[in-house]
Amino acid sequence: SNQQIMKELLGTIRQRQRGGLATGLDIARLEAQLAAERQQSSSAGYELDHAKLSLINLLALPTTSAVVLTDQWLTDVPEIPLSQKAVEDALGQRPEVQAQYTRVRASELMYASMTGERVPSLVAQGDYGLVGNRWTNTLDTYSMALILQIPIFDGAQREGRIAQARSQWQQEALRMKSVLNQVTMEVHDALASLTVAKEQVGIAQAGLQMATKELDLARERYAVITSASHFELTNGLSAVARARENLVNALFQLNAARVSLARSTGSLQALN
């Protein structure tokens, strides 16, 4: 877009030069700006190709693979979810939270099992079979027993196992608290980033509108007033270029913030 505007302005200045209203210096300055814009566009194209190659290498695909970006590039400002709802979604969907819940539950059951060894236990046993030297000459035999086991003293081995299980349970509970705090912090940070990105997009859009209006007014003035300076055109053109770049950066930050929020809430697969 910037290059197209520069080419149009360059054509206007050349027409004025033929009428004796512009100089070769005016054309040279605008051509220098156009060359700088082309160089920046070429660098951006290389960065895009480099990013695609890095993605192919990360996915362990052949270097000849074609990369087609299908994700939607969001230009509208999304609705920011409530922090409480986002945290609840994260605690219910993040895999590390679920894994740590499982570890805490397993260590709790292990501790309960160890402490249960202090309680007397009642065991029933039974056996049934046949005795004899031939199949036709056998007798039924069976045995039954009811055993009451009362723990008395085992050299403090049982208490050692209980203490170890209790310590493991407490460690997993502390890790659970750390995981919950980390996930909550990441969600709030992602929400703050999305809020700032939303504000930046609004500011950048307003800035682009004002810069475009400034350039349009400068072009009208330059076309009507013969004594008008081309500096107003170049200044307006520079303002539009900066405003476009600011808007692109703001949109990038907005989409990056969306991805960060989706990752923090464990909903990357649902991102569109």
Predicted confidence at residue 173, as pLDDT, reads 94
- Between 214 and 74, the more confident residue is 214
How much of the chain, in percent, has pLDDT values that exceed 70? 90
Region 130-141: what's the mean pLDDT?
Answer: 77
- Domain shared by 3 and 78, yes or no: no
Of the pLDDT bands very low, low, confident and very high (cuts 50, 70, 90), residue 75 is low
Alpha helices in 59-129 (DSSP H): 83-93, 95-115
Domain containing 171: what range? 72-108+157-270
User: Residue 9: exposed, middle, or buried by beta-carbon count in 10 A (0-12, 13-18, 19+)?
Assistant: buried
- Give Dmax (Cα) for the chain: 133
CATH for 209:
1.20.1600.10
What residues are paired with 145 via a beta bridge? 125
Per DSSP, 116 falls in state G
Asked if the structure places residue 59 within a domain, the reply is: yes
Asked if the structure places residue 4 within a domain, the reply is: yes
- Domain shared by 167 and 63, yes or no: no
Of the pLDDT bands very low, low, confident and very high (cuts 50, 70, 90), residue 272 is low
- Domain shared by 45 and 102, yes or no: no
Per DSSP, 151 falls in state -
Predicted confidence at residue 193, as pLDDT, reads 92
Residue 74 has pLDDT above 70, yes or no: no
Predicted confidence at residue 22, as pLDDT, reads 67
- Between 56 and 206, the more confident residue is 206
Q: What's the token pair of residue 199?
A: 């504000």
Q: Indicate the residue type of 189.
A: D
Region 204-227: what's the mean pLDDT?
Answer: 82
Predicted confidence at residue 156, as pLDDT, reads 73
Closest CA to 54 of 63, 41, 43, 45: 63
Q: CA dist 239 to 44, 133, 143, 176, 246, Å?
A: 20, 109, 99, 52, 10
d(C-alpha 175, C-alpha 100), whole Å:
8
Predicted confidence at residue 226, as pLDDT, reads 55
Residue 102 has pLDDT above 90, yes or no: yes
Asked if the structure places residue 16 within a domain, the reply is: no
Q: How many domains does the chain have?
A: 2
Residue 179 has pLDDT above 90, yes or no: yes
The three-point CA angle 230-233-235 to 5° equals 110
Per DSSP, 80 falls in state P
pTM of the predicted protein model: 0.68
Residue 230 has pLDDT above 70, yes or no: no
Region 90-101: what's the mean pLDDT?
Answer: 91
- Domain shared by 191 and 228, yes or no: yes
Mean pLDDT of all residues in the chain? 83
- Domain shared by 211 and 79, yes or no: yes
d(C-alpha 123, C-alpha 119), whole Å:
13
Pairing of strands 137-149, 121-134: antiparallel
